[in-house]
Amino acid sequence: MLIATGLFYAGEDVSLRHRIPRGRETLGTVHVDRYYVIGEKNNRVQYLPAPPEDVTCVHGIFPHFGYSPCWYAGRTTRKAIEM
């Protein structure tokens, strides 16, 4: 199982680096809505909107080139910034 996973990862890496099939987009973007989480007195929490950002992701099953796969990045479209 481990060898099969390693071979699949290597094949996917070669496919992404050489854009096989031809014309395949390697990288994509996911829009992430961000917000600030501010702790106040009396254990209250205030939520304020933050500027949204686009996160770069890779079209694949596994992470490559330092980017998360788009299927995973698409799951986390809201990001809390603790203050």
* pLDDT tens track for 48-70: 999 999 999 999 999 999 999 99
Q: Which of 67, 44, 65 is nearest to 54 (CA)?
A: 67
Beta bridge partners of 57: 28
The pTM of this model reads: 0.78
| 59 within 8 A of 27, measured Cβ to Cβ | yes
pLDDT at 20 over 90: no
Overall size of the chain counted in residues = 83
Per-residue pLDDT band at 22 (split at 50, 70, 90): confident
On the question of a cis peptide bond just before residue 69, with omega within 30 degrees of 0, the verdict is no
> In angstroms, how far is CA 73 from the centroid of its own chain?
3
| 38 within 8 A of 80, measured Cβ to Cβ | no
Distance CA 18, CA 16 (A): 6
Structure tokens at 7: 């071979």
